Amino acid sequence: MIRTIDVESYFQRIGYDGARTPTLATLQAIHLRHPQAIAFENLDPLLKRPISLDSQALEQKLVHGGRGGWCFEQNWLLADVLRSLGFHVTGLAARVMWNGPVDAVRPRTHMLLRIDDLDGGPYIADVGFGGLTLTAPLRLAAEVEQATPHETFKLVEMPGGFVLHALVRDLWKPLYSFDLQAQILQDYEVWNWYLEHHSSSPFLNSLVAARVAPDRRYALLNNRLSVHHVRGSSEQITLSSAAELRAALTETLRIRLPEGAGVAELLERVTASQ
């Protein structure tokens, strides 16, 4: 079923004024602009506010509310937009491998999309992987190095699926593993709840945010803002006050902070505890 979404407001949010046809060129243009405009962030879990995957709630939060979100929010919103344009979209699930032991088996807590019926075969799309989120769709083909406007990626085939790798400082780093089993909303709601509530969730004790710019990536972990320049150097900035953290969130990461109680206290707590 195709969900109703305010596509024109979404396009205004990401700064897209191109074609509305379900082509690879359209997908590439949308995929590049989305992570530049809509940041990855986990403010709601830290504020003990529930995250809804209802399409209207996502539209209100990420499009009209100026907020960001994590993978389930980002990619479910993108799926709604692409389906409304006539793309054939299937939701997939992945086990995150980034920054963990290679042999560790983690739960399927990441969402990505498969896009079919495009020139060149099926593609994957993913605008919700934080500091290394894709800025272009990738052809679903193993052992092919694929350049994007930022890093180069490749898919490595494994029994039953694939592992996505990124080329980071001349080393191939695994991001996540996935198979091609289709997932539905109820699957994502379970994993979404897990990340909101389980003690092992990485998003309950640390402030995490990220956004892409044309020539760099911004990644925030608590009060440390990292700037990674495309094919260049990296720098790290320590934010020593709640005011500096607020400015980084609103100006650099372009997140409209939620209203209501708890936000100021959260910013103070994050900077004071580091």
Our answer to whether residue 110 is catalytic in this structure is yes
Our answer to whether residue 44 is catalytic in this structure is no
65-79, 96-110, 184-198, 213-227: least confidently modelled range? 96-110
Residues 153-181 have pLDDT tens digits of 999 999 999 999 999 988 999 999 999 99
In this predicted structure, the answer to whether residue 29 has a pLDDT above a threshold of 90 is yes
Residue ranges of alpha helices (H) inside 158-200 are 185-197
Query: What distance in Å separates the CA atoms of residue 71 and residue 113, rounded to the nearest whole number?
Result: 11
User: CB 2: neighbour CB atoms within 10 A?
Assistant: 10
Tokens of 19: 């074609």
Residue showing tokens 């206290």: 265
Dihedral, CA of residue 246, residue 251, residue 255 and residue 257, to nearest 10: 40
Q: What separation in angstroms does the CA of 116 have from each of 124, 140, 199?
A: 9, 10, 37
Q: What is the largest CA-CA distance in the chain?
A: 52
Q: Of the listed 34, 80, 126, 228, which one is catalytic?
A: 126
Q: Of the listed 71, 80, 165, 228, which one is catalytic?
A: 71
Going from the N-terminus, what domains does the chain have, and what CATH number goes with each? Answer: 204-272 (3.30.2140.10)
Our answer to whether residue 119 is catalytic in this structure is no
Tokens of 163: 């592992």
Q: Which region, left, alpha or beta, applies to residue 8 given φ > 0 means left and ψ of -120 to 50 means alpha?
A: alpha
Average confidence (pLDDT) over 200-218: 95
In this predicted structure, the answer to whether residue 125 has a pLDDT above a threshold of 60 is yes
Tokens of 24: 């690879």
Question: Please, are residues 100 and 29 in contact by the beta-carbon 8 Å criterion?
Answer: no
Average confidence (pLDDT) over 64-81: 98
Band (pLDDT 50/70/90 cuts) for residue 1 is very low
Q: What separation in angstroms does the CA of 208 have from each of 28, 115, 187, 245, 254?
A: 26, 28, 24, 12, 14
Mean pLDDT taken over the chain? 94
pTM score of the predicted model: 0.95
Rounded to 5 degrees, what are φ and ψ at 219? -140, 125
Q: Which of 141, 139, 137 lies closest to 149 in space, CA to CA?
A: 137
Rounded to 5 degrees, what are φ and ψ at 44? -60, -50
Residue ranges of alpha helices (H) inside the chain are 7-14, 24-37, 43-46, 55-58, 71-84, 185-197, 242-247, 263-272
Q: Of the listed 31, 34, 110, 228, which one is catalytic?
A: 110
Query: What distance in Å separates the CA atoms of residue 222 and residue 51, rounded to the nearest whole number?
Result: 20
Average confidence (pLDDT) over 2-14: 88
Query: What distance in Å separates the CA atoms of residue 108 and residue 92, rounded to the nearest whole number?
Result: 10
In this predicted structure, the answer to whether residue 2 has a pLDDT above a threshold of 70 is no
